[in-house]
């Protein structure tokens, strides 16, 4: 079995979507159109079996992240992009936990477009082999000299510990970032 890291492409959509639905609970499933948007910049882990069959076993989607829902001004009235009355969704709240988090808030970086890991998953059969770490390291090589960020569910302790061990700093909680069930995210940066 040969393991290969490569750039993703649009023809990977079905396999990446299948891997994604296998790795995440139904409440965290993305639409194919959301995944498709990030595929051309994605990093794929693919295995080739002895019979030359290829299978995607890992993916890192990278792209633009905005930490919180942006507020917009319409006719001089401030409105939330997703308000409390909008289908039960609640506005994200950026809750800093470090001095860097306070600087983010002070400079409104939490409302700006940043670059980072949008989604990462590795097939359960191939976990604990350092593949997620290699995906993240390739992500760093793709994006030198940038402040990179990511979100993870507050309950996803395994992911949090991996990111922390790789030098990501937990700078804030994003209240109500996830839904079904509603949960805070841990917002992390890597400089």
DSSP string of 61-92, one letter each residue: EEEEEESSPPEEEETTEEEESS-TTSTT----
Q: How is residue 7 written in tokens?
A: 């750039």
77-96 per-position pLDDT tens digit: 444 434 344 444 456 789 99
Is the confidence at residue 70, as pLDDT, over 80?
A: no
The domain limits of the chain are: 2-190
Neighbours of 40 (CB within 10 A): 12
- Confirm if 102 and 110 have CB atoms less than 8 A apart: no
* Threshold 0.75, pTM exceeds: yes
- CATH architecture for segment(s) 2-190: 3-Layer(aba) Sandwich (3.40)
- What is the pLDDT confidence band of residue 49, given thresholds at 50, 70 and 90? confident
């Amino acid at each position: 079995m040969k393991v290969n890291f490569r750039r993703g492409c649009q023809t990977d959509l079905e396999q990446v979507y299948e891997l994604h639905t296998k790795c995440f609970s139904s409440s965290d499933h993305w639409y194919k159109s959301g995944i498709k948007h990030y595929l051309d910049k994605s990093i794929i882990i693919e295995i080739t079996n002895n019979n030359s069959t290829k299978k995607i076993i890992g993916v890192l989607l990278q792209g633009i992240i905005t930490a919180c829902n942006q507020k917009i001004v319409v006719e001089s009235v401030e409105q939330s992009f997703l308000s409390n009355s909008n289908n039960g969704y609640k506005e994200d709240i950026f809750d800093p936990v470090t001095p860097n988090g306070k600087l983010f808030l002070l400079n409104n970086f939490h409302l700006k477009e940043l670059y980072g890991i949008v989604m990462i998953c590795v097939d359960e059969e191939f976990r604990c082999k350092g593949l997620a770490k290699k995906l993240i390291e390739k992500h760093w090589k793709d994006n030198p000299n940038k402040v990179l960020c990511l979100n993870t569910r507050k309950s996803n302790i395994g992911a949090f510990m991996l990111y922390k061990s790789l030098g990501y700093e937990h700078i804030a909680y994003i209240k109500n970032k996830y839904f079904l069930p509603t949960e805070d995210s841990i917002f992390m940066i890597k400089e």
